[in-house]
A and B are shown apart, each in its own frame.
Chain A
Amino acid sequence: MTVVDLENVTFAYGEQPAVRDVSLTVAEGDFLGLIGPNGSGKTTLLHLMLGLRSPDSGSIELFGEPVSSFEDGERIGYVSQQATSGGGSMPVTVREVVTMGRFAHAGHGRLTDADYAAVDDALETVGIVDLADRQINALSGGQRQRAYIARALASEADLLALDEPTVGVDAESRDAFYQLLESLNEDGITIILIEHDIGVVTDRASRIACINTELYHHGDTESFVESDALTEAYGASGQVVHHHH
């Protein structure tokens, strides 16, 4: 089954094109690494896929439905850049954040025992049960990532979309975090990951989409490593973050 289907999608901020004529599909169970230089339109493309922005032209489908009329919000878990980098001063506990994953299910009704059980399960899966009553702002970057993943798991999302989730996270927690993503992917959750560290992406992702406004490569990881897409997309002067683990 196709999770995301983009056809000839174009989007511009005013006169400045951000995404030009991109077509790609994400199938169920894929682990897609979305890479490209700074300002290449990665985040914009992800926002288009999730329906946070509307394309100027082209069509986008989520789980087989046009994205603009897609209503099953609980099927998507989204971890935005700002959610993870910002500290903020709002007093919210980890349990409260993870419980937000159930809000799309509950609507205006009360949360049920099943909702709370899903929250407990999600905390357990990512291994932060002991942090549940701590404030989210008091956590380290790596712990905070896990809390956001737990929120997506609590909502029983089929698709996990992550925008540079490991910025400011130490190397050890980052490895553990990507192991968690791999095991979630093995359990059948589709993952779309924006990551600036190409080494991580080629190690972990099963498929790669490399963009710089236009799509330079879309296919499995092996064919990407053998192709010239990287140098083409980043250009000769482009800086490539590439350290292998």
Chain B
Amino acid sequence: MSTRSPLRRRLERVGIGLTAVLAVAMVGLLAIDALRSYPVVDVIYEQARIAGWWLDHYLGTNVFYHPFMWRSIATGILIGVVAPLVGTYLVHREMALIGETLAHTAFAGVAVGLVVSSMTGWSGSLMLIALVVGILGALGVQWLAERTDTYGDVPIAIMLTGSFAVGTLIISYGRGMTGFNVEGYLFGNISVVTPSGARLMAVISVVVVLVTVATYKQLLFITFDEQAARVARLNVTWYNTLLIVMTAVVVVGAMQILGVILVAAMLVVPVATATQVAHSFRETLTLSILVGQIAVIGGFAFSISQGLPTGGSIVVVAIACYLLAILASSRSTAAISTH
């Protein structure tokens, strides 16, 4: 228990390396998809489609040839990186419920976006408006949590239900105009991932990974010992805001595939899984991203092969990993207590 075996360390390193390669490839794929009308890129785009066709041919699937599937798989892979990354700090700051709350404020944002895009006819605004409303909601949650005298989770519960209520009102109001598929955002759906939504996720992922790498030390210190971090003159309020805004951003990106109701699962479950078996904080981050990847890839495979919803499949695979981790860690505790 006291030290990790070299084999485990090597496996983790290989896993995180593969994840990085996969994530970069997915960002690249989304870039190719976005720029396919330009010269040179159009050739690469055609080659990628042919490669997808061959992949489908060998696997006996009908998935990789279609650009809309690229977008949803790429979005899923990127969610599997950034959600556990941000979630590791959230969970250990005992802010797991915040992710769920922000998903609901983002839902209100989607509702506003639906109405605005139906009135202006600009469909690209949907996720952007969800993003803006999500971030405003995040700042609102933090403002409430810092200023109210009640227990810390009361304003969060109010914000959660309140924004959902506003969302349903706006959607009912706009229904005559839009006739839009709300269930897609509630439960998540591959077909909800629009080209602009996928591009937004790519940008979000790059920014969140860069910011988290740059602020790793500060976020760790604040997560572990907030008072000592204050005494060390870290700007705790600023970093808290940063964490909450990053969460809102990730939630809006993840909502397309996972749905409002399940989005918090990817922030929490991989981290809970990793915490069961990890030895250090750095290992918690590594393992939670690996579990996130297993959940996304396993969930996609399961949902495509069985024709079931993706969001639910991803979360069920993540929870299966969690249960396995509990079994594994309880066995290792038992092994320690016997000698």
Contact = CB atoms under 8 A, between A and B. Distances in A.
A106 B282 CA distance: 18
B215 interface: yes
B231 A51 contact: yes
Contact of A103 (B232, B275, B278, B283): B232
A104 interface: yes
Interface in A52-86: 52, 70-74, 76, 78-80, 82-83
Contacts of B225: 80, 83, 100
B224 A108 contact: no
B275 A91 contact: yes
Contact of B220 (A72, A73, A89, A100): A100
B279 A104 contact: no
B280 A91 contact: yes
Contacts of B228: 78-80, 83, 100, 151
Contacts, number: 82
Contact of A76 (B224, B232, B282, B284): B232
A82 B2 contact: no
A135 B231 contact: no
A91 B278 contact: yes
Contacts of B214: 108
Contacts of A90: 92, 223-224, 275, 281
A213 to B, nearest CB: 22
Q: Is the interface of A mostly helix, strand, loop or mixed?
A: mixed
B233 A135 contact: no
B92 A108 contact: no
Given A76-B232, A103-B218, A92 B275 contact: no
Q: Is the interface of B mostly helix, strand, loop or mixed?
A: helix
B48 interface: no
B148 interface: no
A134 interface: yes
Interface string B221-265: 101110110111110000000000000000000000000000000
Size range of the chain A interface in the assembly: 20 to 34
A92 B281 contact: yes
Contacts of A72: 233
A96 B232 contact: no
Contact of B284 (A91, A97, A155, A161): A91
Contact of B231 (A73, A97, A106, A111): A73
A192 interface: no
A133 interface: yes
Given A78-B227, A90-B92, 5 more contacts: A91-B275, A92-B280, A106-B217, A111-B217, A133-B2
25 contacts: A51-B230, A52-B227, A52-B230, A72-B233, A73-B232, A73-B234, A74-B232, A76-B232, A78-B228, A83-B225, A89-B275, A90-B92, A90-B275, A91-B281, A93-B281, A96-B280, A100-B217, A100-B225, A103-B218, A103-B234, A106-B217, A108-B217, A133-B2, A133-B3, A151-B228
Interface of A: 50-52, 70-74, 76, 78-80, 82-83, 89-93, 96-97, 100, 103-104, 106, 108, 111, 133-135, 151, 155, 161
Q: Which 8 A-B pairs have the closest CB atoms?
A: A73-B233, A73-B232, A78-B231, A104-B232, A93-B280, A103-B217, A90-B92, A80-B227
Interface of B: 2-3, 92, 214-215, 217-218, 220-221, 223-225, 227-228, 230-234, 275, 278-284
